[in-house]
Structure 1
């Protein structure tokens, strides 16, 4: 039987910042699906056209990515090892969605190289949260 170790303060900081990050993703999901006028006002007409033409499965992937990230962070805060599974689901869906966004749309032509900044940031944070949760399990901070 393994005993749970007290995680360092940095664990709580990472989990809380991760939760806030994923909640911002939920907000972006809401705007992109339910507050289209706000979205239209915040991007160029060309960018809006790209967003408007995304397939329905893309929206579903986006939802799975952000909501599994929120659940993963909540589970991390409660020190549950199943958080790893939710971060893995989030990472896989982020990977598919962001690759589709960058490769299958013409966002790079419309917005230039800056269009890669947010997708790569989202992907990097997803990778980090997944491996951080695995490390936390290995250090017995979560069970």
Structure 2
């Protein structure tokens, strides 16, 4: 018995590489935030310092799950593995928890107002796209 795998278009590989680069940027930002020295925190704008000081540990865990899930999902796409969808779902869930927490638990809304929603909306749109794309790739037989 032979398995027929549908041919992947060039756009598949472009999206997979861009997904990895995007999520590696997120992972870098997470690492920089976690490793920030008191001097680096002091150099941040006052709004960001106040939000960071009010951020509970569980939100940092959600942030880590979001970026690590995204990196692993992108690696899964590059390796043509079905589990990419699971990690993109983990990434989306972590991101939703992080974004909701930021506006419900920290003073982000008071300090940033509606303009503070721009980046979370962009992040959510990209995470939703990557999850949807991975699911379509699996349905088309591009992932094993």
Uncovered stretches (5+) of structure 1, i.e. residues with no partner: none
Aligned counterpart, 1:100? 101
| Aligned residue runs from structure 1 range 52-131, under 5 A | 52-131=53-132
* 8 Å CA contact 1:62, 1:93 repeated in 2: yes
CA distance in structure 2 between the aligned counterparts of 1:126 and 1:141, rounded to whole angstroms: 20
Aligned counterpart, 1:34? 35
TM-score by length of 2: 0.91
Q: Give CA-to-partner distance per residue, 1:75-98, whole Å, 9 cap, x none.
A: 100100110111111111111111
CA distance in structure 2 between the aligned counterparts of 1:53 and 1:46, rounded to whole angstroms: 11
* 8 Å CA contact 1:50, 1:105 repeated in 2: yes
Aligned counterpart, 1:8? 9
Moved over 3 A (4+): 36-40
* 8 Å CA contact 1:94, 1:123 repeated in 2: yes
* 8 Å CA contact 1:102, 1:116 repeated in 2: no
Uncovered stretches (5+) of structure 2, i.e. residues with no partner: none
TM-score by length of 1: 0.91
The SS at the match of 1:124 is helix
Alignment coverage as a number of residue pairs: 142
CA distance in structure 2 between the aligned counterparts of 1:112 and 1:4, rounded to whole angstroms: 49
CA distance in structure 2 between the aligned counterparts of 1:29 and 1:125, rounded to whole angstroms: 17
CA-atom RMSD in angstroms: 1.5
Query: C-alpha displacement at 1:99, in angstroms?
Result: 1.2
